[in-house]
Amino acid sequence: MAEQDIVGLTSSEAAFREEVRDFLEQNLTEELRRAGKLTTSVYPDHEASMQWQEILRQKGWAAPAWPVEFGGCDWTPRQHYIFSSECTRAGAPGLSPMGIRMVAWAIMRYGSQQQQDYFLPRILTGEVFFCQGYSEPGSGSDLASLAMRAEDDGDDLICTGSKIWTTHANEANWIFCLVRTTRTDVKQRGITFLLIDMRTPGVQVRPLVMSSGERVQNEVFFDNVRVPKANVLGEIDDGWSVAKYLLLFERGGSAASPGLKVRAEALAAEAAQQSGPDGGPLSEDPAFMRRLAELEIRIDVLDVLEQRTLSAVSSGKDPGTASSMQKILSSELSQDLTHLALQAAGPYGRAYQPHATMPGGQVMNFVPPSDGYVGGEPWQAVASSRYLNDRAGSIYAGSNEIQRNIIAKARLGLS
């Protein structure tokens, strides 16, 4: 974010911002910056992401929102926001959210001392890399209807079933799963939250190729997979409580507005270099610039909501329906930005050029030109792939229709 966008900095906040900027200048290599700027979805290049996580870990900044006793930073909400803003503007690649931003919080609240001692330090180092096993072929938005079963066998649970749309299952060595341990009349009961080692016999991963050609999502099959009961998070049959707590962080555990602001600013700059419908710069086209201005206003609204949520979470409060609001706003704003970016990219944005980007997974069945030719600029190739990937934004982390139902019930009292 530009300096004028963060107003009213105190002297200590300004000093902190300079510390962050100095750190980024010294540690962000050109390759890492390239990975951040050429990301085509919410997931950056895996190797670059893990390399950056290790650099941040050594500084003590890999998981700043964690409680200090687990390796986090005693930052104010304003400092968290400054850090996120500066990382985005510098082009730092993102970190995978599955461990640090999601399951780690559930482990802190529901995990045993042994589970906390084992998993939390290894999540920070990347030795343990989690994926999320929630959705099933017949259980997506209605997550409580999940069917993957786990049968009691002494000290173990025997797991059979499958999960789908499992991001980075091909990279992960652990998966956190919701499994059915008891059949009851109430679907939310009888579900258990289970941590499963992906190297256990009987686990098989198959790729799902997205419309962008990338392999980021996967199917995961479990054939009589034996999992120790010691890997249950919380209580057997009470996994729904753990899952609901975790979803608060999946849907609203970070600030998306800094990244959206940077993307909007970059789009405005590119529009000045592109031809509009009348032959002049696209930045002088009233219809295009009106749509961009509307998006910038909506991003400012999200900005305010996220700062309030960060303040609440930092005080130990439940963000409640604010998480659902943030998920709706951030995903739909991102979709609208990619739509506008694709318009600005023009004919080059319609060309399929994944070799000009750094996607979050292997691009399947694509052979790049032998000479590496790229038509147009890399940002135009990113616009194409990001547009395709962003279509899923209103579905993942709980569809936006479900989020609106949550808000209607919990905030407005509607049934």
For the segment 7-30, the average pLDDT, to the nearest whole number, is 93
Of 2-16, 141-155, 283-297, 303-317, highest mean pLDDT: 283-297
Average pLDDT, the chain: 90
- pLDDT score of 94 more than 50: yes
pLDDT value for 359:
87
Asked if residue 4 has pLDDT above 50, the reply is no
* 250 given a catalytic annotation: yes
Asked if the model's pLDDT at residue 129 lies above 90, the reply is: yes
Helix/strand/coil for 105: helix
Mean pLDDT of 360-370: 88
Q: What is the mean pLDDT of residues 244-271?
A: 81
- In the prediction, which pLDDT does 403 show? 83
Paired tokens of 338:
């990619």
| pLDDT at residue 316, as a whole number | 66
Which three-class secondary structure state does DSSP give residue 391? Answer: helix
Cα four-point dihedral sign 299, 304, 308, 311: positive
pLDDT tier at 105, thresholds 50, 70, 90 = very high
Least confident range from 94-103, 152-161, 325-334, 392-401: namely 392-401
Alpha-carbon distance 266 to 386, whole Å? Answer: 15
Position 34 scores a pLDDT of 94
Burial class (CB in 10 A: 0-12, 13-18, 19+), 209: middle
Residue 102 pLDDT level (bands cut at 50, 70, 90): very high
Kind of pairing between the strands at 130-133 and 174-180 = parallel
Summarize the confidence of residues 303-331 as an average pLDDT: 80
Q: What is the pLDDT of residues 184-207, one digit of tens each?
A: 888 889 999 999 999 999 999 999
Phi/psi of residue 152, nearest 5 degrees: -65, 130
Count of Cβ atoms closer than 10 Å to residue 301 Cβ: 13
pLDDT of 5 above 60: no
Q: What angle do CA 96, 258, 129 make, to 5 degrees?
A: 5
228 neighbors 303 (Cβ within 8 angstroms): no
Q: Over the stretch 39-91, which tens digit does the pLDDT of each residue have?
A: 988 888 999 999 999 999 999 999 998 999 999 999 988 888 889 889 988 99
**Half-sphere exposure for 285 (CA within 13 Å, toward CB):** 20
pLDDT tens for 145-166 read 899 999 999 999 999 999 999 9
Higher pLDDT, 6 or 118: 118
Q: What is the mean pLDDT of residues 313-327?
A: 76
- Confidence band, pLDDT 50/70/90 cuts, at residue 232: very high
Average pLDDT over residues 5-34: 91
Of 136, 214, 250, 270, the active-site residue reads 250
Neighbour-count burial of 12, counting CB atoms closer than 10 A to its CB (0-12 exposed, 13-18 middle, 19+ buried) = exposed
Q: Which of 1-15, 48-62, 237-251 bottoms out in mean pLDDT, i.e. has the lowest?
A: 1-15
Tell me: pLDDT of 33 over 90: yes
- Structural domains of the chain in order of their starting residue, each with its CATH number: 3-95 (1.10.540.10), 130-239 (2.40.110.10), 254-410 (1.20.140.10)
pLDDT at position 313, please? 67
Average pLDDT over residues 338-350: 91
Q: Which helix (H) or strand (E) holds 310?
A: helix 286-314
Q: Which residues, in sequence order, are CB contacts of 392 under 8 Å at separation 6+?
A: 210
Instruction: Determine the pLDDT at residue 1.
Output: 39
